[in-house]
Structure 1
Amino acid sequence: MTKFTDLNLNPKVLKAIEEAGYENPTPIQAGAIPAALEGRDVLGIAQTGTGKTASFTLPMITRLARGRARARMPRSLVLCPTRELAAQVAENFDTYAKHVKLTKALLIGGVSFKEQDAAIDRGVDVLIATPGRLLDHFERGKLLLTGIEIMVVDEADRMLDMGFIPDIERIFSLTPFTRQTLFFSATMAPEIERITNTFLSAPERVEIARQATTSETIEQAVVMFKASRKDREGTEKRNVLRALIDGEGDKIKNAVIFCNRKTDVDIVAKSLKKYGYDAAPIHGDLDQSQRTRTLDGFREGSLKILVASDVAARGLDVPSVSHVFNYDVPGHAEDYVHRIGRTGRAGREGKAITICSPRDEKALDAVENLVQKQIARLENPVKAAPARSASEEGEEGAKPKPSRSRSRSSSKSDSSKPAPAPVAVEAETPVTATPERVEQERPVSTSSASHGSSNNSSSKSRSRGGRRDDRRDDKVIGMGDHMPSFIALSFEQRRAG
C-alpha cells in the first residue's frame, strides 16, 4: 500500500502529515500528488469526502517552499465556490504548512476589504478566494495575477451551478499561460468538460470511482410523504422530520438537515428549537461572523443539528457527522451526492434520510438514475397519526361548519338576541309592505306563485321582508350551499314583474 513517504513530498510537509495522524493517502491523493509535483496539469474527478483538498494543498506547499512572494502578486491561487469551502482550504494550509514559511490570504465576502488589502500588500504565497471577491480586489487595482505559478479550481461543478463559469474564464485570462492548473470536480458536466479542454494542457486525468457515485458506507433511505391538506403541508412535514430524528435516537451524534430554500432553513431551525432540539441555521443571507460561529460550534460539538442550504453542501468538513436529513429532495441530482457526502467520510459509516413529497418525485427519480440504484423506502413514522391531537379533532368534528355567507346585519342581530323557533313552511302570515319599501319589495302575486310550489313561495316571501325579526337566509337550490336573501330578492322582482 502506498504511503505518503513514497510520494516525494517535502520532509517538513511529511512531518505535518504525520502530526495530523495520517499515514496512507486516499486513491485521489495517490493519483494526483505525483503528477502535480512534476508540474503537470491535473484533472481530478472524485466523489465528495475522498480527500481532494489535500490532493492539491500538499504538492502546492512542496513546490512553493522555495521562493518568495512579492507585494500584490500572489504566487498561487485557489478558487472556491463558497466562503465555507475557502475557509476549509485555508485551514488545510495551516495544518500542512506549519513547518514551512509560507504566507496566505483569504479573500471572501463578509470580511473587511481593509484587512484583506493589508495582507495582499505584504505579499502572499497562497491566495485562497471566491471568484466574486477576487475580481472586486482586481478591479480596485489592489491585486495582480501575472505572478501566478499554480492555479487551482476546486469543486468546479458547484461553480457551474452557482453561475461562476464566466468569472472563472475571466480569471483564467488574467493569469499567465505558463501556469500549472489543478482542476477538481465531483462530476463532469459538458460545460466543465469544455473549460478543461480550453484551459488545461495535456492534463493527467485522475478519476476515482464512477462519476456522481455515493459512498458505500452511507445507508440511504427515503420517506414518501403526502400531506393531509395543502395548508398543513409544512407543519406535517416538520412533524415527520422530528419523528425521524427521534427514531434514530442515540445513534445521532450530530446531523445536517438540508433544505432547498433559505426561508425553510430558518423555519425548520426555529421549529426544532421550539421543540427542544439543539439546532441552528446556516445559509448565504446570514452574516459571515454568525456563519463562522455556527460552523465552529458544530465542529466542536457544542451544536448538535445544523440546518443548512446547499451553501454548506460543499466545504463542510466535519469527519464525524453521523446523519444527513434531506428535508427536500434537491432540484439538481448532483447536489444529492454532495449533501449526503457530509456523512460517511474517511471510511466511517453514516446514514442519509430524505423526505419526498409528491411534487419531488421526479427529482427523486433523477437522483436514483444518477446514482444508479433504488433508494430504500421507509414507512412514514407519523403516517397513522392525525395532524392535530385527538381531542382537538373530536371537538372540531362535533361542531357544524359555520355559514360564511350571512349579511352583517344578520350576524349582529343573531349575536344580540336568541334565534326564534323554526316556523312551518306551509303557514304563511300575510305581510303589508310599507310605502317606502313598496317599490323595492313587491309582494308575490298569484301568477308568480304558479312558477313554484307553495313551500318555495312562502319561504321566499319570508326572506324578502315578511319576517325581518327571523333573520334567516334560506337555501336556494342551484346557487351553491347557501345564498343570502338580499341576492334572491333581485331574482324574485324580475319574476314578479
Structure 2
Amino acid sequence: MARPEPPLWTVPASGMPTFAELGLPEPVVRALAAEGFTAPFPIQAATLPDTLAARDLLGRGQTGSGKTLAFGLAILSRLAGERARPKAPRGLVLVPTRELATQVVDALAPFAAALGLRTAVVVGGLSMTKQVAELRRGVDLLVATPGRLTDHTGQGTCDLSEVTITALDEADRMADMGFLPQVRAILDLTPRDGQRLLFSATLDNDVDALVARYLTDPVTRAVASAAAPVETMDHHVFQVDAADRLQVVSEIAARDGRTLFFVRTKHGADRLVKTLRRSGVAAGPLHGGKSQNARNRALDGFRSGEAPVLVATDVAARGIHIDDVGLVVHVDPPADHKAYLHRAGRTARAGEDGVVVTLATPDQRREVDDLTRQAGVTATVTTVAPGSPALAEVTGAREPSGEPVDPPKAPAQPAAGGRSGGGRSSGTRRGSGGTGRAAGERGRGGGSDRSAGGRSDGARRGSDGGSRGTSPSRGGSGARDSGSRGRSAASARPAPASGRGEGSRSGAVRMSESGGGSTPRGGGRRRGR
C-alpha cells in the first residue's frame, strides 16, 4: 500500500526563517549571499532543520522547487571539518542521469569550496581512469549514477563503507528507469546506521518499499501535491493538421528565448534538429544516443544561448535543470501524465513564469485530453496553422529566417581530364567523404557519408517512395542524379535531401523533405521508448 499523502508544509506565522536561523554554518550562509540567495525556498526551510539534525527524511516537492540545495547544503554542512580517505567518500548523492549529476555538483561547488570539501562526479560516458584517479585523491561528497558507481564498487575502486549520509534525488525516476536493483545494492554497501535522505515527486509503491527498507523513522516533508500544477505555468493544446505540424514547430522554434522541444525517439530528435537548422534555427539534440561530450556541448549551447533550442527525449531530459526556460513544447505527446508533468517541470522553475504547449493532431486529441486531465492541469485548446495569430500570441512564434545555420559545403570539382557531354568521366571526383564515381558510371556513390538513420546518402529514398534519389553528399562525392543513370558529371544534378520518417513502432512525428520543402506525416497512437 502506498504511503498516505503527507500534510503540506506552510510558512510559519513568524515568517520565512533565514538560512542562518535554519542552522547552516556561517561559511555556507556567506556563500549563499555571494551567490544571490537571500531567502530559502519552502522545501529548504521545511527540511534543513531535520536533515542538519541527522534525521532520515522523505522530501517531496515539485521540480524546480530547490531540492538540490535542500539536501546538498545539509550534506556539506554535516561533512564539514573532516577529510575523506582515498577511495572512501563520506557523502553520496545518487541521481538518475549524467546531466543531473553534473548539475548537482555544479550547484553545490561554491558551498563545498566555502567549507574546504572536495566533490566529484562518477557517471557513465566519461573516462573511468580519470574517475579512479579522482577517487584515489579523496572525495568528501560523491555524486553518481547507479550504473557507473556499481562499476566502481565492483572493481574495488570505490569503498562505500565510510558513507555517513546518502541522498537519493528523483527516486521515482530511478524507479521508472529500472535502477532500483542497483540502488538497493549500493545502499546495502553503506553503513546501516548512516543518515538517508530520499527526494521524490511521487510516493508510489516502488519508492515506498525503498523507504520502508532503508530509512529509519523518517520525517516526511512536502511543499506541494505531486499532482498539483505549478501556479505560474500556463498550459495550451494546439490542435494542428498533420501536414502543418512541422512548419508550426519551425515557427515556434524561431521565437526569442530558450525553448525545449520533446520528442519520443532519438532519430526523431536528430531529424527535427537538422530540419530546424536548415530553416535558420540554432538547435541542438539531447538524447541517449549521443556521447557524453556531445550531450554536454548541447547543454552548454542551450545555457549560453548559442543554441537556444534544445530537442530532447524523455530519458535525456530528466537531467535538465536549467532556469529561464520560458517554453516547453510536446512535439510528440508524452507516454503518460507523469511524463507530462516532468517535461512541463523544465519551465516555470524557482517561481518564474512558463508556458507548456502540446501539439496534437485531430486523432490525438482524446489521448492528450486524457493526459492533461490525469496531470491535473486545465489546458486552453486552440486550433492553429502556420502563421496563426495564436502561435505568436502564446509562444512568440515567427517565420524562421530560412538561412541555414550550417553553411553548405562547396560542391566537388571534376578532376582534370574529365569529359563533358554524354560520355563517362575519365577521372574521379573527390570530396570530404572519400572518392566517388562520376554520375555516368551507373550513378554509384563512392563516399562514406551516411544519413542519421544509417543509410548511405546515395541510397536514401525520396518521399514519393518510388525512384531511388539521393541527397547531395556533404563532401560533394558520390552525387547521383535522381532521374537517370547515364548522365555525365557535368550534367548530373543532386536531388534535394530526403529524410526517412520514424518507423511505425515509435509513432513519432514523420517528416519527409521532398523538393526542398518539409512536410510532416502524422502517426497514430504514440508509444514510448
Identify if the C-alpha distance between structure 1 residues 200 and 282 changes in structure 2 by more than 3 Å, giving closer, same or farther: same
Show the counterpart of 2:107: 92
Q: Which one of 45, 53, 62 corresponds to residue 30 of structure 1?
A: 45
**Residue 377 of structure 1 pairs with residue 409 of structure 2:** no
Map residues 346-357 of structure 1 onto 2, 5 A cutoff. Answer: 346-357=350-361
Q: Which one of 43, 54, 67 corresponds to residue 39 of structure 1?
A: 54
Show the counterpart of 1:185: 200
Identify if the C-alpha distance between structure 1 residues 140 and 362 changes in structure 2 by more than 3 Å, giving closer, same or farther: farther
Contact 1:333–1:363 (Cα < 8 Å) also in 2: no
Map residues 68-83 of structure 1 onto 2, 5 A cutoff. Answer: 68-83=83-98
Map residues 234-383 of structure 1 onto 2, 5 A cutoff. Answer: 236-245=244-253, 249=255, 252-357=256-361, 360-361=364-365, 363-382=367-386
Q: SS at 1:219's partner residue?
A: strand
**Residue 54 of structure 1 pairs with residue 69 of structure 2:** yes
Gap runs ≥5 in structure 2: 1-15, 389-465, 467-529
Map residues 89-488 of structure 1 onto 2, 5 A cutoff. Answer: 89-227=104-242, 236-245=244-253, 249=255, 252-357=256-361, 360-361=364-365, 363-382=367-386
Deviations 1:99-144 (A, max 9, x none): 1111122101111111100111122111110000000111111111
Gap runs ≥5 in structure 1: 229-235, 385-403, 405-497
Q: What displacement does 1:382 show?
A: 3.6
Deviations 1:332-361 (A, max 9, x none): 311111211111111111111111235644
For 2:117 and 2:357, the matched residues in 1 are separated by 42
Show the counterpart of 2:447: none
Q: What displacement does 1:226 show?
A: 4.0
Instruction: Give the aligned residue type for 2:266.
Output: K
For 2:174 and 2:367, the matched residues in 1 are separated by 21
Show the counterpart of 2:483: none
Deviations 1:243-275 (A, max 9, x none): 4445xx4xx311111111111111111111111
Identify if the C-alpha distance between structure 1 residues 147 and 360 changes in structure 2 by more than 3 Å, giving closer, same or farther: farther
Higher percent of residues as helix? 1
For 1:381 and 1:257, the matched residues in 2 are separated by 18
Show the counterpart of 1:430: none
Q: Which has the larger radius of gyration?
A: 1
Q: What displacement does 1:49 show?
A: 0.7
Divergent runs of 4+, >3 A: 243-246, 357-363
Q: What displacement does 1:362 show?
A: 5.4
Q: SS at 1:6's partner residue?
A: coil
TM-score, normalised relative to structure 1: 0.72
Identify if the C-alpha distance between structure 1 residues 268 and 41 changes in structure 2 by more than 3 Å, giving closer, same or farther: same
Deviations 1:170-205 (A, max 9, x none): 111111101101100112222111111221111110
Q: SS at 1:211's partner residue?
A: coil
Identify if the C-alpha distance between structure 1 residues 41 and 131 changes in structure 2 by more than 3 Å, giving closer, same or farther: same
Q: What displacement does 1:213 show?
A: 2.3
Instruction: Give the aligned residue type for 2:141.
Output: V
Deviations 1:256-302 (A, max 9, x none): 11111111111111111111111111111101111111111211122
Identify if the C-alpha distance between structure 1 residues 138 and 366 changes in structure 2 by more than 3 Å, giving closer, same or farther: farther
Q: After alignment, is 7-16 or 307-316 more displaced?
A: 307-316
Instruction: Give the aligned residue type for 2:277.
Output: K
Contact 1:244–1:381 (Cα < 8 Å) also in 2: no
Show the counterpart of 2:515: none
Q: SS at 2:212's partner residue?
A: helix
Contact 1:225–1:237 (Cα < 8 Å) also in 2: yes
